[in-house]
A and B are shown apart, each in its own frame.
Chain A
Amino acid sequence: MSALTTSPTSKLRRKQAAKERIREPFRDRVFVITVTVMLVVILALVLLPLIYIVANSFSSASAVSAGKVTFWPVDFSVRAYKVALSNPQILRGYYNSLIYAVCGTLISVTLTVAIAYPLSRKRFFGRNVLMTVLIFTMLFSGGLIPTYMVVQDLGMLNTRWALLIPNAIGVWQVIIARTFFANSIPEDLHEAAMLDGASELRYLRSVVLPLSKPLLAVLALMYVIFQWNTYFDALVYLKDQDLFPLQIVLRNVLILNQRNVGVADVAQQLQQQQLANVLKYALIVVSSLPVLIIYPFVARHFNKGVMVGAVKG
């Protein structure tokens, strides 16, 4: 504010703004206030559940089990986090999910670029047929069991590959990448590279990919978040507990109420029950944290990706 009052140009701007504000009729000012209030209400509706969970996770086990916590921790305690982060099952889930997210994303991005780039070349014979073949898979699928049979026949059942390969390429992501390559890389560069004797692969590696960092970021983020958040494939394809991603561990603890997490002592059943309650809140925070931490930085990229996909290539 002090900067505003000192600089002459901003003074002018402020005057103009004031003028504008005066010119705005009363009904419009009322309208803007109404809209602002509405947005505050929407914001509260979105945030209150999250605050409630966080507040509970930092409260003591007895306070949580008595239902005393609303939107502020009661008897501040980080015990639940200590228990959650020292539980071998949860750590294992974390570790597995990291592997799936990193490897899955590498595979997915590579394969997506490998098919999207040729599809973006106008002189690539068969691109329309290939695109139709891809889009058809969005409209019609064999279903759960026929896919399961393929995974079974390939011997991928109950291996890490089952989570990395069967959903490796998203058609939507291919469309986004193809649109980006077709619209954002100038065709002149291709001509220049070809005149200089570059092969198609060399051109892709040395010209297109360095210019496509925003696209690669978008694709990587989409695939990372998919891999981190999905549980369906693991539910269907995995039996071995050691391979379970975090989401399956979470489901077992949070929704199926499996109590083998925490202290397994019958004498302390009440305490254990209380701990199990608060542990749920802590687990929710711990498991969502990685994604929620990176998302403000990626939200902008993500938006761009959504928009690129919305424009038809």
Chain B
Amino acid sequence: MEITTKRSNPPVRATEPPVEPRGPRNALARHWSRQLAEARRSWRLNWQLYLLVIVPVAYFVIFKYIPISNAVIAFKDYNVIKGVWGSDWVGFKNFELFFSNPVFGTLLKNTFILAFYLVLASFPIPIILAIALNEIRGGLFKRTVQLLTYAPYFISTVVAVSMTILILSPRLGIVNDALGLFGIPAVDFLGDPDYFRHIYVWSDVWQTTGYSAVIYMAALAGIDPALHEAAKIDGASRWQRIRNVDLPGIMPTAVIILILGVGNMMAIGFEKAFLLQNDLNLAQSEIIATYVYKTGLVNADFSMATAVGLFNSVVNLCLLLFVNFAAKRITGKGLWG
């Protein structure tokens, strides 16, 4: 009972019995018993909140963590009748098959180049847009530009890809009409693998620039106006103020966004690549995500598809951890504090 008196000001009602062990009071045991006391206290005060999280937690367990455990079939020869745990172990056979498959090199190359190109191309343009918007006086024009450049973000992937296909169509598309004016023969952009990456990346830039600029606009608004005033008094031109005040001001935001982009490179979306894909441009448009879909759901090779997907997830996780580590070294701040 000595513990109850030790609590100098009991928060609500200190009716809990002492939980600290009487025996050897090493630090670890004390830590855990304090945790337990805290948990009990929290349960008494917040039991309704614990009821509240039951369903969402169940959601995460069922739809996020059970799939992770299901991923063991990557190391098995999955058989529907035997189930996930009853199927026979095959070790790394699926991975070895995948790595020795000639398609492996192409997939890896396609995925990496596409993702890297996307990160590089979609990084500077929103910054330029945000700075340009920041330079002009607030008015109807500024608001219009901001609102309208934002609009494509709300268009679905299916529609965006359809628009791309229609606009680039060799027979009817306006791009080939324009090329025709200069006497250039029609180009089948989607039928040529060499154009696939440019189409993918630049249509993405078209869709996301306005949206991404919003974050930089906020960062620019957060820059201390005194810095601008001081620069003005010192006779800095607008261009000099952008270079020496604005750019350093948004640098932390830019670094974080670049890091997130690189960290998520391997998670590059299935949706768009799959829609832009056709038999003619497959040489460059087949990426890991689309390959997983085809192997798993079209050819019903569950184990192989899971192995490929797992490989992708692991590479992505490593990339993210590495990038986070690098960010910590460079900026002194990682993504998670």
Query: How far, in angstroms, from A139 to B321 measured CA to CA in the complex?
Result: 9
- Report B39-70 CB contacts with A as 1/0, cut-off 8 Å: 10111011011101101110110111111111
Q: At the interface, yes or no: A312 with Cβ under 8 Å from chain B?
A: yes
> Known contacts A111-B55, A145-B296; is A299 also within 8 Å of B42 by CB?
no
Query: How far, in angstroms, from A287 to B165 measured CA to CA in the complex?
Result: 17
Interface of A is mostly: helix
Q: Are B171 and A292 in contact (CB under 8 A)?
A: no
Q: At the interface, yes or no: A163 with Cβ under 8 Å from chain B?
A: no
With a 10 A CB-CB cut-off, give which of A64, A165, A232 has the most chain B CB atoms.
A232
- Give the number of A-B contacts (CB < 8 Å): 262
> Known contacts A118-B49, A124-B49, A142-B68; is A247 also within 8 Å of B42 by CB?
no
Q: Are A134 and B148 in contact (CB under 8 A)?
A: no
Query: How far, in angstroms, from A25 to B232 measured CA to CA in the complex?
Result: 11
Query: How far, in angstroms, from A303 to B211 measured CA to CA in the complex?
Result: 9
Q: At the interface, yes or no: B4 with Cβ under 8 Å from chain A?
A: no
Interface of B is mostly: helix
For chain B, the count of residues having a C-beta within 8 Å of the partner chain is 89
Q: Which of B112-167 contact A (CB under 8 A)?
A: 129, 132-133, 135-136, 141, 144-145, 147-152, 154-159, 161-163, 165-167
- Report B9-27 CB contacts with A as 1/0, cut-off 8 Å: 0000000000000000000
Q: Are B177 and A231 in contact (CB under 8 A)?
A: no
Interchain CB contact (< 8 A) of B306 among A111, A145, A154, A250? A145
- Report B209-229 CB contacts with A as 1/0, cut-off 8 Å: 111001100100000000000
B: residues with CB less than 8 A from A are 38-39, 41-43, 45-46, 48-50, 52-53, 55-57, 59-60, 62-71, 73, 84, 129, 132-133, 135-136, 141, 144-145, 147-152, 154-159, 161-163, 165-167, 171-174, 177, 206, 209-211, 214-215, 218, 237-239, 270-271, 275, 292-293, 296-297, 302, 305-306, 309-310, 312-313, 316-317, 320, 336-337
Given A31-B237, A46-B206, A169-B56, 10 more A-B residue pairs with CB atoms under 8 Å apart are: A31-B135, A50-B152, A70-B174, A133-B60, A142-B70, A149-B70, A154-B62, A231-B158, A232-B271, A288-B154
